[in-house]
């Protein structure tokens, strides 16, 4: 009869580990999922009491898999706020980076759990790092996680950060048809013309196929005649008889009042847009300048 081990018996056994540069790594197997410890499982599943028991039994809070995935990574990816807070209170490294470049902040933005994002930001999580495929602001923007995006922007993240593969956060949001995040980025002063290399956010919106995003970009002064590296305008890449092509054809040029609004916003600059509300202007004009 085969021996069946219960969870308790597994937990009570020592898990082999080695320490590399101060990091505790589980070495049972090389696969990032197969070498997960009970600590990783408890954090992923939001089992706070079990997590407490494991730490009390001697599991190290910064135990990593061979791919440098920590229990805090798991808690943030699963949106498990209570587990993430407990791990941080016990000394979990808030800025650990997995082999694919993901940080706990990136995972929290991916899950869309604003409470987890706020938590790791309060624990001094880095909002910028050198890995170019796991950017928290790009992840929040393309997943449509508006509240997470707003938290990052409030902490001073680079709103026009352009990465070779992802482009800018605005470009990513347009391509993913995340209209709420597109609006948030534009309201916060994102440059409507910076996309990915010579591709503009308007090119991305046309590829995404959302006419409302196309209209929104045009309202913020997007150049519909801008040519990408292939020499094509947004209209050139629009599918025949598509709604985005119809929007590009029927949407007229900016009115004089719209041009004035864009000019005032450019003159103020992104860092001073918030001062519009305190200007000695009629309420209707302030609302117009802020796109309210």
Q: Is 23 helix (H, G, I), strand (E, B) or coil?
A: strand
Bridge-based pairing state of the strands 23-26 and 63-64:
parallel
Per-residue pLDDT tens digits for 2-32: 333 333 333 444 444 433 334 444 433 333 3
Question: Where are the CATH 1.25.40.20 domain residues in the chain?
Answer: 7-132, 135-253
Name the architecture of domain 7-132. Alpha Horseshoe (1.25)
Per-residue pLDDT tens digits for 68-91: 999 999 999 999 999 999 999 999
Strand order, beta sheet including 23-26: 17-20, 23-26, 63-64
Per-residue pLDDT tens digits for 219-240: 999 999 999 999 999 999 999 9
Helix (H) or strand (E) holding 132: none
pTM for this entry: 0.84
Bridge-based pairing state of the strands 63-64 and 17-20:
unpaired
Q: 135-253: which CATH number, 1.25.40.20, 2.70.160.11, 2.60.40.180, 1.10.287.70? A: 1.25.40.20
Residues 6+ apart with CB under 8 A from 139: 106, 109, 110, 145
Sign of CA dihedral 124, 129, 131, 137: positive
| Residue 130 binned pLDDT confidence (cut-offs 50, 70, 90) | low
């Amino acid at each position: 009869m085969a021996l069946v081990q219960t969870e308790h018996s597994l937990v009570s056994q020592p898990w082999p580990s080695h320490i590399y540069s101060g990091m505790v790594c589980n070495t049972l197997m090389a696969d990032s999922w197969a070498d997960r410890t009970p600590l990783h499982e408890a954090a992923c599943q939001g089992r706070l009491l079990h997590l407490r028991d494991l730490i009390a039994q001697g599991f190290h809070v910064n135990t990593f898999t061979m791919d440098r995935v920590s229990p805090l990574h798991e808690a943030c990816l699963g949106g498990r706020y209570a587990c993430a807070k407990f791990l941080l209170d016990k000394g979990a490294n808030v800025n650990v980076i997995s082999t694919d470049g993901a940080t706990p902040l990136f995972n929290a933005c991916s899950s869309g759990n604003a409470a987890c994002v706020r938590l790791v930001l309060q624990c001094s999580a880095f909002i910028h790092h050198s890995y170019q495929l796991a950017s928290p602001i790009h992840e929040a923007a393309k997943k449509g996680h508006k509240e997470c995006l707003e938290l990052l922007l409030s902490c001073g993240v680079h709103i026009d950060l352009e990465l070779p593969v992802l482009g800018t956060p605005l470009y990513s949001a347009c391509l993913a048809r995340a209209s709420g995040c597109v609006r948030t980025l534009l309201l916060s002063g994102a440059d409507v013309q910076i996309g990915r290399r010579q591709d503009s956010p308007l090119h991305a919106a046309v590829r995404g196929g959302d006419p409302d995003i196309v209209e929104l970009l045009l309202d913020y002064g997007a150049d519909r005649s801008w040519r990408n590296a292939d020499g094509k305008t947004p209209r050139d890449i629009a599918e025949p008889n598509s709604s985005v092509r119809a929007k590009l054809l029927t949407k007229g040029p900016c009115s004089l009042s719209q041009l004035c609004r864009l000019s005032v916003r450019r003159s103020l600059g992104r860092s001073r847009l918030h001062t519009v509300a305190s200007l000695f202007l009629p309420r209707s004009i302030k609302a117009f300048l802020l796109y309210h």
